Amino acid sequence: MALDPVAYKPYADPDDFIREVTDLIWVDRAISFIRENYEPDSIVHGPYGTATTRDEVIEGTLMRIAATPDRTGQAEDVVWEARGDDAFLSSHLVLSGDLLTGQHSRTIANCLYRRGRMVEEWVVRDTLAGALTLGLDLDAEARAQAFRGYTGSWTRPAPVDVIAAGDSGPRPDEHRSEVERVLELIETVWNGRDLQKVETFFARDLVLLTVGNRVVIRPEGYRRALLRFLESFPAGRFEVRDVQTNYAVRYGGLRVAVTWKFVGDYTGVTSYGPRTGKPVDLLGISQFTFHQGSLVKEVRLWDDIALRAQIAGVRGDVEPGPTNIY
């Protein structure tokens, strides 16, 4: 089904739309454009919970820009897919850098646009990267935040058949074999803990970009990175909430983006302070790249400082207070 230009006008296509609108707001500082770009009751699921008004997005954007005036960003990838004939879901990987210091980090924003207006968004930032670069106390940073919690679609059960329809709604059945391959990887390796099978899904010379600006290579590196996360939540599981695919030479060919939720009790290694024995509710997004039928790259992001804040809140380490969800 062809996508009606009303979904992305006045730009050339959804890729152009996402790149230019993001630049307008975040680089050119046209924060007021959010009023035209977002529906008044737009929903944003971020690391600290769900925002349900456009005003929260405007206020949060202003605070972020004011706090980091020397940072700018650009698109590293845009994985977009139609949602009906007048809407699309994009997965926008942004590489942000400080113009003075060169410090950088990544963000992924998955945005559901209908007739050129934002209706729902899922966003994760690698805040760990900046904290590590600046030598900050990670737990102190976490205690300064408050996890609000989620509402709406994020609280509902995971989609039964994400290939047919995810949290963003029904999707076109495109690149099915690659989508099935990614979903099999998540179920077999991530959830099934059969780490030996990494080499079944990935090429030998794989690259994983993940939180803290970590660059991981080779299957053994991929296994160790997964173990490093799971060791704190040994019985946890990844739920796939949405998926989209896109082929573009500009970004290296075929990519598959996955929005996932990780739920697991904090009963393992105390990487996040004293154990709580209580579950975490973690929003994450991965972008996978295929080459000649094999997976060769993954970008896997979540907000590790927000995860610490969520755990600290359960322990009672923080006083409830305002948090910039956006």
User: What pLDDT, on the 0 to 100 scale, is given for residue 2?
Assistant: 84
User: What pLDDT, on the 0 to 100 scale, is given for residue 190?
Assistant: 98
Q: Nearest Cα to 128, choosing from 68, 226, 212?
A: 212
What dihedral do alpha carbons 186, 187, 191, 193 form, nearest 10°? -90
Where does the pLDDT of residue 1 fall: very low under 50, low under 70, confident under 90, or very high at 90 and above? low
Q: b vs e for 160-174, b when ≥16 Cβ sit within 10 Å of the residue's Cβ?
A: eebeeebbbbebeee
CA distance 266 to 138: 17
Domain map (residue ranges) of the chain:
5-143, 159-315
Same fold, 5-143 and 159-315: yes
Q: Which residue is listed with tokens 């393992």?
A: 268
User: What pLDDT, on the 0 to 100 scale, is given for residue 303?
Assistant: 98
For all residues of the chain together, what is the average pLDDT? Answer: 96
Domain covering 159-315 in this structure, CATH number = 3.10.450.50
Question: How far apart, in Å, are the Cα atoms of 221 and each of 36, 210, 230, 235, 299?
Answer: 44, 12, 14, 21, 14
Query: Are 276 and 315 spatial neighbours (Cβ–Cβ below 8 Å)?
Result: yes
Total-model pTM: 0.97
**What percentage of the chain has pLDDT greater than the value 70?**
98
CATH architecture of 5-143: Roll (3.10)
Interval 177-198 mean pLDDT: 98
Strands, sheet with 38-46, edge to edge from the N-terminal-most edge strand:
49-51, 38-46, 117-125, 104-114, 87-98, 71-82
Where does the pLDDT of residue 215 fall: very low under 50, low under 70, confident under 90, or very high at 90 and above? very high
What dihedral do alpha carbons 164, 170, 172, 177 form, nearest 10°? -20
> Which residues 6+ apart lie within 8 Å of 291 measured at CB?
203, 252, 253
Interval 56-79 mean pLDDT: 95
The predicted-structure confidence for 160-178, as pLDDT tens digits, reads as follows 999 999 999 999 999 999 9
Both structure tokens of 299: 């970008």
The predicted-structure confidence for 261-278, as pLDDT tens digits, reads as follows 999 999 999 999 999 999
User: What pLDDT, on the 0 to 100 scale, is given for residue 325?
Assistant: 77
Q: Nearest Cα to 105, choosing from 212, 225, 259, 222?
A: 212
